[in-house]
Amino acid sequence: MSFGPMPIANGFLAPQDIPLDTYRFELATASCKRCRTFQLIDQPPPDKMFHANYAFFSQTSRVMQDHFENFALDIAQRLLARRDDPFVVELGSNDGIMLRHIAKRGVRHLGVEPSANVAAAARNNGVNTTSVFFDAESAANIREQYGPADVIAAANVMCHIGSIRDVAAGIALLLRDDGVLIFEDPYLGEVIAKTSYDQIYDEHVFLFSLESVRAIFGPHGLSVIDVAPQTTHGGSMRYTLGKTEHHEVSSTVTELEVAESRQGLGDDQTYDRFRQSCEASKAALNRLLGELRGAGKRIAGYGATSKSTTVLNYCGIGPELIEFISDTTPIKQGKVTPGTHISVKPPSCFSEPYPDFAVLFAWNHAAEIIAKEKAFLESGGRFITFVPEVGMIQA
């Protein structure tokens, strides 16, 4: 399905830097009939998305910090315990949010992070980081310099990489024979179940399922040996893979296979229904915001997420409906949203005075945000959501 012409999701710009002719690409998805990989038909070139001014820093949420500390703990306890001088590589290690917990344990490690500014932040966090794109060539260089990897980890990264087959080849090359690949990404089954179409944007070239992960990594000798659902990013899946002959397959894998078949992730009708649900969601959000503005209500946004770029551009929502968006990320503040030009302001502006309504673009952090915005709710303010359905959040 098509979501129309779309700017770069994290392309926040200062008003004076907006070019006359903003770069846009056609945001459209397809589910491969053969391997059921759900993917973007076109993706902008990587250097348009990941560069020295990349606006996404992982360490913006307390819950995410805890999540990545637990991810590191899972790796340390489950995967490194019986290994002698292990070596851990993380792909897309961002500002070191996960790997710093591995580094603190004195474990040999390397972060691979192509965005120079976040890689520099990781080094400041004591995380050994190289700023390159990961592929078969850089994998061979890493292996030559450090030896084979016991664990290769990635979080919210694999789904960003259009050249995933090169990455899979690089992983097969870098991984020790009995090593494991562990990665997590937003899960297709959750996106379909919740109509969370905002997970579809330039960086998310894939939304994985068990079936598609098998189709991509299987040809490189890697089998899925364990799966574990995660609550992060509105519903993710953590996949553990290893070279088939060295590992047993957990029952969680068969259970997920059955669940995917029940949900119809392999059926065309599922994607037709998803398209209809997206269109209905767009109409309902426009209707609600239009009615509230028509009644003179002030509406702000909460969280200038990458996801919000899809919602705002697909639904055609701009400053005439949403006055500003509050966001804690310093690099986004003072800028405007990509394509729709809504001002992004620091959280201090949210309460001066509180708006009547706030569209929760960071809906994946709802619990954390609702807990800390008690004063907004007590002032009579209401959060609006669009996942799984458009409506007010009952706090």
Q: Which is nearer to ligand TYD, 149 or 311 (CB)?
A: 311
Tell me how far, at minimum, the Cβ of 369 lies from ligand TYD, in Å: 5
Q: Which is nearer to ligand TYD, 189 or 301 (CB)?
A: 301
Q: Which of residues 338-367 bind ligand TYD (CB under 6 A)?
A: 362, 364-365
Candidates 327, 336, 340, 366: give the one binding ligand TYD (CB under 6 A): 327
- In the shown chain, the binding pattern of residues 288 to 307 toward ligand TYD, with x for contact by CB under 6 A and - for none, equals ---------------xxxxx
Q: Which is nearer to ligand TYD, 29 or 364 (CB)?
A: 364
Tell me how far, at minimum, the Cβ of 156 lies from ligand TYD, in Å: 7
Tell me how far, at minimum, the Cβ of 79 lies from ligand TYD, in Å: 25
Q: Which is nearer to ligand TYD, 55 or 142 (CB)?
A: 55
Are 165 and 139 within 8 A, CB to CB?
Answer: no
Q: Say whether residue 328 binds ligand TYD (CB under 6 A).
A: yes
Tell me how far, at minimum, the Cβ of 18 lies from ligand TYD, in Å: 20
Tell me how far, at minimum, the Cβ of 207 lies from ligand TYD, in Å: 13
* Beta strand residue intervals within the chain, DSSP E: 2-6, 25-31, 38-40, 87-91, 108-112, 129-130, 149-155, 175-186, 206-207, 222-230, 236-243, 299-302, 324-326, 343-345, 357-360, 382-385, 391-392
Q: Which of residues 176-235 bind ligand TYD (CB under 6 A)?
A: none
List the helix and strand counts (H, then E) for the chain: 13, 17
Count of residues that bind ligand TYD according to CB under 6 A: 17
Q: Say whether residue 115 binds ligand TYD (CB under 6 A).
A: no
State the angle between helix axes of 210-217 and 164-174 in degrees (0 to 180), rounded to the nearest 10: 70
Measured CA to CA, the distance from residue 206 to residue 89 in angstroms comes to: 22
Q: Which of residues 59-88 bind ligand TYD (CB under 6 A)?
A: 60-61
Residue 356 backbone dihedrals phi, psi, to 5 degrees: -75, -35
- In the shown chain, the binding pattern of residues 18 to 57 toward ligand TYD, with x for contact by CB under 6 A and - for none, equals --------------------------------------x-
Tell me how far, at minimum, the Cβ of 254 lies from ligand TYD, in Å: 31
Q: Which letter does DSSP use for residue 13 in this model?
A: B
Measured CA to CA, the distance from residue 360 to residue 369 in angstroms comes to: 9
Tell me how far, at minimum, the Cβ of 1 lies from ligand TYD, in Å: 20
- Buried/exposed 41-73: b ≥16 CB within 10 Å, e otherwise: eebbebeebbeeebbbbbbbbeebeebbeebbe
Place of tokens 């590191």: 72
Q: Which is nearer to ligand TYD, 93 or 329 (CB)?
A: 329
Beta carbons within 8 Å of 84's beta carbon, 6+ residues apart: none
Starting at the earlier edge strand, list the strands of the sheet with 343-345: 343-345, 324-326, 299-302, 357-360, 382-385, 391-392
Are 227 and 256 within 8 A, CB to CB?
Answer: yes
Q: What tokens were used for 96?
A: 């070191």
Tell me how far, at minimum, the Cβ of 364 lies from ligand TYD, in Å: 5
Q: Say whether residue 313 binds ligand TYD (CB under 6 A).
A: no
Q: Which is nearer to ligand TYD, 225 or 304 (CB)?
A: 304
Tell me how far, at minimum, the Cβ of 118 lies from ligand TYD, in Å: 13
Q: Which is nearer to ligand TYD, 96 or 303 (CB)?
A: 303
Q: Which is nearer to ligand TYD, 221 or 229 (CB)?
A: 229
Closest CA to 39 of 29, 26, 25: 29
Are 205 and 159 within 8 A, CB to CB?
Answer: yes
Residues binding ligand TYD (CB under 6 A): 56, 60-61, 303-307, 326-329, 362, 364-365, 368-369
